[in-house]
Amino acid sequence: MTKPTAAEPRPDRVRHSVQAGVTRLRRSWPALLLTALLVVLMVPAALLVAPGFLGPELPAPPPPAPAWQQAPARLSPEAGLTPLSASASIPLASSVTAQVEPLLKADGGGTFTGLVQDALTGQVLFDRGGSDNRVPASNMKLLTAVAALRALGPERRFTTSVKSGPAAGQVVLVGGGDVLLAPGESNGEQVMGHAGLATLAVGTVEALKAAGTSGEIKVLVDDSLFTGPALNPVWAEGDVAAGEVAPVYPLALNSARYDPAVTTGPRPQDPAMTAAEEFAARLRTAAAAAGLTVAAAVERSPVPASASGEEPGKPAVLAEVESATVARQVDLMLQASDNYLAEVLGRMAAVAAGHAGSNDGATAAVRAQLADAGIPVDSIQLVDVCGLATGNQVSARHFADVVRAITTGTDGRLRAALDGFPVAGLSGTLDTRYRDDSTARGAGLVRAKTGTLNTVLALSGYVVDADGRLLVFSFIGNGLTPGAAGNRAALDRAATALAACGCR
């Protein structure tokens, strides 16, 4: 048997060494466990105490902002509608007719006529009796808008002034065509109420004080700018009683309304005197602080203020206020379909042309301005200029021609009427229409003047079709069943078809 070398441990010695190590480990186990426990407790304590020695912990950097919140490296191009292109395809007349024809059906009695044209070329794309004269209702206001913008100019304003009276102690309120006067202070941001009687009264008192006036002041009113019957005899008594219109004078409050927010019901029957009495009340308030009194009664001036003699030391004009521009008044007339304002603008167009400020002068002025604009008028019959009368006779072709003149004609003054066209589903007399599935595609796209009488409906305006082509249209229904809902829907669906048309 071989003996182990000195370098090799004997088995009994190995076993003894292992047993000794285990014994020592057992004896030291409580100390090791205590040490581990102390380490576990010291780590959190150190974390709590460390900031006191190291200072506050720096906040973590914020996450990067999303791309849409970061400053752009370059500016985006200016937003807006792209200009119309003359190269856009003109719709096929056969396709337009196929779209419009089945929609333009009367609900009950009566018939519709209509015309659709390409705005740039005048090419007729749909024609159903387009040259036949019809009762146009308030589409008449489109003709009046053209006449006013041409005869007066878009930037023209109407002046309401106070002048020295024909006798001492008298002042004359002179109507200059502004029927949108407010009783209070002027508000230059508004069309209705751009000029205010309270502002005019303050200016008048200042002028009277500067002239050394004392005693009682008497107010006269001069409304001689307009002549002839103030109430057109062709207007139905029921329409006048319902407040569709009022006697026409060259000055009035709120377009001859007691309250501008109430557009139905009774109206002043002498709007000029109503305005003069309100001015006298405002003058009385302003004059009290200056030691002046104002007589209660207001009378019409016996002679026009322009013919009144001037007292020594007194200016002819004591104070004046100006209306909103004709362009803004035309927009209001079209958006709200304001009969009273239309009649006044027609008379002012007549005065500007050197004619009488009467109904006959207004209708003659409208015809003359249309003819000068290149629109044939031989077959047109006009008995008022607001469209309330049923004796007016105008064709859909005439209205399409007028809309073409406004949108693409050579007379840039007429562009001022574009904002006045109500927008389908959004503004003016179209704000509550184009809401159902059959017309929703026209909402925001169709821009058109409405017309409504008992048996008459009309819609004339413009639209850009699906291919980017500008189209003008006029649809007129006469002899319709009063109140039949399908008739208005027929007009709106026909116009919507044009907006959605990719009719190539």
Of the listed 161, 308, 337, 358, which one is catalytic? Answer: 337
CA dist 173 → 105, 177, 181, 307 (Å): 53, 12, 13, 14
| Token duo for residue 216 | 């009682």
pLDDT recorded at residue 504: 79
Residue 100 has pLDDT above 90, yes or no: yes
Model confidence pLDDT, tens digit, residues 385-436: 999 999 999 999 999 999 999 999 999 999 999 999 999 999 999 999 999 9
Check if 337 is active-site.
yes
For residues 245-274, average pLDDT: 96
HSE at residue 145, side-chain half, CA atoms within 13 A, is 32
pTM here is: 0.83
Per-residue pLDDT band for 305 (boundaries 50, 70, 90) equals confident
Sequence-distant (≥ 6) Cβ neighbours of residue 23 within 8 angstroms: none
Residue 149 has pLDDT above 80, yes or no: yes
Query: What does pLDDT average to over the chain?
Result: 88
For residues 21-44, average pLDDT: 52
Helix (H, G, I), strand (E, B) or coil at 208: helix
In the chain, what are the domains?
93-153+329-499 (3.40.710.10), 159-324 (no CATH)
Task: Work out the number of other CB atoms within 10 angstroms of the CB of residue 73.
Answer: 5
Q: Which of 492, 477, 467, 493 is nearest to 118 (CA)?
A: 467
Per-residue pLDDT band for 14 (boundaries 50, 70, 90) equals very low
pLDDT recorded at residue 13: 43
Tell me how far apart the alpha carbons of residues 36 and 140 are, in angstroms, rounded to a whole number.
100
Beta-sheet pairing, 216-222 with 111-118: unpaired
Helix 339-352 to helix 140-151 angle (10° resolution) is 40
Q: Which of 46-55, 310-319, 459-468 comes out lowest in average pLDDT?
A: 46-55
CB 474 within 8 A of CB 132: no
Tell me how far apart the alpha carbons of residues 260 and 180 are, in angstroms, rounded to a whole number.
9
pLDDT recorded at residue 36: 55
451 bridge partner residues: 458
For residues 53-65, average pLDDT: 58
Tell me how far apart the alpha carbons of residues 52 and 61 are, in angstroms, rounded to a whole number.
22
Q: Identify the residue whose tokens are 């409208």.
A: 366
Greatest CA separation for the chain:
162
Q: Which of 345, 296, 18 is nearest to 152 (CA)?
A: 345
